[in-house]
Structure 1
Amino acid sequence: MSRLESMRRRLTAQIDGLNWAAEEIAPLSGDVLELGLGNGRTYDHLRERIPDRRIWVIDRVLKPHPSCIPPAACFLQGEADEMLIQLAKTGARIVLAHYDFGFGVKEKDVAEGARLSPLIAPLMVPGGLVVSQQPLVGFEQIRGPEAIAPDRYLFYRAP
């Protein structure tokens, strides 16, 4: 598969997965957490899809498209572990987390996901969802939308 085809497959899975998760969390209370802002595309999608939820964003740098800059009060800039600890101190309760961190090196990505998982878990409301392109630990892995190949995007439910 070409890299371009792989990108299309990833973006389709991301959109379908986030739309599915937004419907699944509808009866639950809580905020949303975008882990990795990048250009802001998924943040923009989330704020359009679930406009009634507060969306927290964590990233090392703030360099999104100008139309996708989160409110300053919801953007935590810095290393993810430090920012997750800071977010926990606010008392935020997360019903949907989108884990979009990655170096592009599988071993590093898996290690970072395992390292950050214990910092994400206490933020989650029971039954909340984590949608991730990286494997995480300490969550119940569940099947997402049927149209998404199980290895393309990962879905977890918080205990």
Structure 2
Amino acid sequence: MSRLDSMMRRLAAQRDGLEWGLKEVHGLDGDVVDMGLGNGRTYDHLREVASGRRIWVIDRILQCHPSCIPPEQDFLQGEAEEMLKKLAASGAKIIMAHYDFGFGEKEKDVAEAARLSPMIADIMAPGGVLVSGQPLVGFSQVRGPETVSPDRYCFYRT
């Protein structure tokens, strides 16, 4: 598979997964968190499909497209571990999380996701959903949308 085809498959899986996750938590009160702002595409999509919900964003640096800058009070800038602890201490009730942190090296990305998993668990409300580009540990994995291959994206319930 070409890198272009792989990227298109990943982005479609991400979009379908986010929309699936929001349907799964429909009726629950709480916020959404996007872990890994990057250029802001996912955050921008969440603003459209999760309207009415507070969307927290975590990233070490702000380097997104100017139209995708989150409100200052919702952007937690810094290293993931510190920002997850800050979010947990805020008392926010997270019902859906999108995990997209990464260094671009598979082994390093998987290890980081495993290391951060307990801190992610600390921010999640019971019955919440996690949509993740990396495998997480300590959560119940579930089948996501039928349009997404199980080896492309990971889905969890808390």
TM normalised by structure 1 equals 0.98
Write the letter of the residue equivalent to 2:146.
E
- Shift of the alpha carbon at 1:102? 1.1
Q: Counterpart of 1:109?
A: 109
Matched, 1:2 2:2: yes
| Residue type at the aligned position of 1:138 | G
Please, which runs of 5 or more residues in structure 2 have no aligned partner?
none
Amino acid at match of 1:16: D
Matched, 1:77 2:84: no
CA distance in 2, matches of 1:42, 1:144: 18
Give the whole-Å Cα distance in 2 for the aligned partners of 1:147 and 1:74: 31
Query: Any residues of structure 2 matched to 1:15-94 within 5 Å, and which?
Result: 15-94=15-94
CA separation in 1, counterparts of 2:144 and 2:78? Answer: 30
Moved over 6 A (4+): none
Q: Measure how far apart 1:103 and its partner are.
A: 1.1
Separation in structure 2 between the aligned mates of residue 96 and residue 59 of structure 1, nearest angstrom: 17
Aligned length: 158
Deviations 1:81-121 (A, max 9, x none): 00001111110110000001111111101110001000010
- Flag structure 1 segments of 5+ consecutive residues without an equivalent: none
1:39, distance to aligned residue in structure 2 (A):
0.5
Structure 2 residue matching 1:131: 3-state secondary structure: strand
In structure 2, the residue corresponding to 1:27 is in which secondary structure? coil
Distance in 2 (CA, whole Å) between partners of 1:121 and 1:143 is 19
Q: Secondary structure at the match of 2:125?
A: strand
Work out whether 1:11 is the aligned partner of 2:30.
no
Mapped to 1, the partners of 2:120 and 2:114 lie a distance apart of 10
